[in-house]
């Protein structure tokens, strides 16, 4: 049987400044630029086979077949690659995450980055990392950043061509640690895609977009100088700005739980005690605590003794997406 097949791996990332809201919803062109760190311990491995004998696309994630809107989203991504390669062959996609998908770590970033690299590899498309990043963005905005390792900037602009990620520093630049603090595993009620559409209904959205441009300038400099206090302060400020936009959207989105607030206050107490720790929070209740290696043992001990904490995953800067085998 004729087939074109490839396997790729990619990792999730944590945004230090957030992508929230689109300039163009259909093309997923972000309203603002964002900067992230790719996470080493959150890996997706995806195999794609385009085959002459398949009647429809089949997608299996962590041994479960996708259906409905989740399947449709992957089919649209496969269509982008079929168009580029000039084929009508359907595909079988098999994907595994080595981290629990319910743990509040965005699997769409690693998932669509791995899918993008696997599709390009399977169909023999000669695409630059920038093109791969642009294409990954069409599947999930944050996936554009997961094409690269280390510290990554996602550009935006008026057209599809302008919205791609670029690596700022590789994974070995700086050992920033991200303690992913899981306080809830329940599925979020409003997925990011729907949340992005609502951002513009908040009276705070445009103010945040203006502010984050200034924050990104300072963040780039702080990363270049390995100035952890500034990186942490900026990450906290933009997390709070994004959640202010979410909370004041119509309808209002409140992703935090009482346990989320408890960890926020815990982080502030650590700082009062001289421990360098800062929080950031994505579209969910779980908290990412950013710190440096010398504080990790202390923070892990405190977090594991805290009754609101279900699990802690320790991540460091990870590598970008690549073909395997
Ligand atoms: C809060 O990339 O998950 O994590 O493009 O709809 O898949 P889609 O959205 P997604 O949005 C990310 C939202 C965020 C912030 C961030 O990672 O920048």
193 located within any domain = yes
Residue 60 sits in the same domain as residue 103? yes
For a pocket test of ligand 1, which of 16, 106, 155, 190 has the largest count of ligand atoms closer than 8 A to its C-beta? 106
Tens-place pLDDT, residues 236-267: 999 999 999 999 999 999 999 999 999 999 99
For 2, list phi and psi in degrees, rounded to 5.
-80, 135
Give burial (CB, 10 Å; 0-12/13-18/19+) of 2: exposed
Is 32 touching ligand 1 by the criterion CB < 6 Å?
Answer: no
Q: Are residues 246 and 161 in the same domain?
A: no
Distance 279 CA to ligand 1 centre (A): 17
Nearest ligand 1 atom to the CA of 13 is 17
Domain span including residue 20: 3-170
In short, whether 142's Cβ falls inside 6 Å of ligand 1 is: yes
What atom of ligand 1 comes closest to residue 19's alpha carbon?
Answer: 18
Same domain, residue pair 9 and 97: yes
Beta-bridge mates of residue 312: 181
Same domain, 166 and 67: yes
Contacts for 87 with CB less than 8 Å, ≥ 6 apart: 50, 123
Output the CA 106–ligand 1 centroid distance in Å. Answer: 8
Quick check: CB of 105 below 6 Å from ligand 1?
no
Going by alpha carbons, the residue nearest to atom 14 of ligand 1 is 282
Give 316 Cα–ligand 1 centroid separation in angstroms: 20
Tell whether 219 and 70 lie within a shared domain: no
Assess whether the C-beta atom of 108 lies below 6 angstroms from ligand 1: yes
Cβ(193) – ligand 1 distance below 6 Å: yes
- The reply to whether ligand 1 has any atom less than 6 angstroms from the CB of 141 is yes
Which residue has the least CA distance to atom 8 on ligand 1?
140
CB contact at 8 A, 242 and 208: yes
157, 44: one domain: yes
Q: Which of 126, 150, 170 is the last residue of a domain?
A: 170
pLDDT of the residue at 102 = 58
Say yes or no: 166 and 199 in one domain.
no
Which ligand 1 atom sits nearest the alpha carbon of residue 143? Answer: 2
Ligand 1 pocket, 38 CB below 6 A? no
Q: Is residue 202 part of a domain?
A: yes
pLDDT on residue 3: 85
Say if 227 falls within a structural domain: yes
* Residue of 50, 117, 125 lying closest to 84 (CA atoms): 125
- Considering the domain architecture, whether residues 51 and 189 belong to the same structural domain is answered as no
Within 13 Å of residue 146, how many CA atoms lie on the same side as its CB? Answer: 35
Q: How many CA atoms lie within 13 A of 205 on its CB side?
A: 22
Domain stops at, among 148, 170, 192? 170
Ligand 1 center to 1 CA (angstroms): 38
The tally of domains found in the chain comes to 2
The answer to whether position 163 is within a domain reads: yes
Domain end among 134, 149, 170: 170
> How many other β-carbons are positioned within 10 Å of the β-carbon of residue 198?
19
* Burial classification of residue 220, based on how many CB atoms lie within 10 Å of its CB (0-12 exposed, 13-18 middle, 19 or more buried): middle
Look up the CATH number of the domain holding residue 111: 3.30.230.10
Asked if residue 151 and residue 277 are part of one domain, the reply reads no
Distance (Å, whole) CA 54 – CA 151: 39
Q: Which atom of ligand 1 is nearest to the CA of 137?
A: 5
Digitized pLDDT (tens) for each residue of the chain, 325 residues in all: 688 999 999 999 999 999 999 999 999 999 999 999 999 999 999 999 999 999 999 999 999 999 999 999 999 999 999 999 999 999 999 999 998 765 566 689 999 999 999 999 999 999 999 999 999 999 999 999 999 999 999 999 999 999 999 999 999 999 999 999 999 988 778 889 999 999 999 999 999 999 999 999 999 999 999 999 999 999 999 999 999 999 999 999 999 999 999 999 999 999 999 999 999 999 999 999 999 999 999 999 999 999 999 999 999 999 999 999 8
């Amino acid at each position: 049987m004729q087939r074109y097949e490839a396997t790729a791996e990619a990792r999730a990332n944590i945004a230090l400044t957030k992508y929230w809201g689109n300039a163009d919803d259909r093309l997923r062109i972000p309203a603002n630029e964002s900067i992230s760190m790719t996470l080493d311990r959150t890996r997706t491995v995806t195999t794609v086979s385009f085959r002459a004998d398949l009647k429809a696309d089949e997608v299996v994630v962590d041994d479960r077949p996708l259906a409905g809107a989740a399947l449709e989203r992957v089919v649209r991504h496969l269509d982008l690659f079929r168009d580029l390669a000039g084929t009508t062959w359907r595909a079988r996609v098999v994907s595994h995450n080595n981290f629990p998908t319910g743990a509040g770590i965005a699997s769409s970033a690693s998932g669509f980055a791995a899918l993008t690299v696997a599709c390009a590899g399977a169909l023999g498309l000669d695409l630059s990392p920038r093109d791969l990043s642009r294409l990954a963005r069409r599947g999930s905005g944050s996936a554009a950043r997961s094409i690269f390792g280390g510290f990554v900037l996602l550009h935006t602009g008026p057209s599809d061509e302008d919205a791609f990620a670029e690596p700022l520093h590789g994974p070995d630049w700086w050992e920033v640690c991200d303690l992913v603090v899981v306080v809830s595993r329940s599925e979020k009620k409003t997925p990011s895609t729907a949340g992005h559409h609502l951002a513009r209904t908040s009276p705070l959205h445009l103010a945040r977009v203006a502010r984050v441009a200034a924050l990104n300038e300072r963040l780039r400099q702080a990363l270049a100088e390995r100035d952890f206090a500034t990186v942490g302060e900026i990450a906290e400020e933009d997390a709070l700005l994004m959640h202010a936009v979410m909370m004041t959207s119509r309808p209002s989105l409140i992703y935090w739980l009482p346990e989320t607030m408890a960890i926020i206050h815990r982080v502030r107490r650590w700082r009062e005690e001289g421990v360098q720790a800062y929080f950031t929070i994505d579209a969910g209740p779980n908290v990412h605590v950013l710190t440096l290696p010398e504080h990790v043992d202390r923070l892990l001990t405190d977090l594991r003794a805290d009754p609101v904490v279900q699990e802690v995953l320790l991540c460091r800067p990870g590598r970008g997406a690549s073909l395997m085998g």
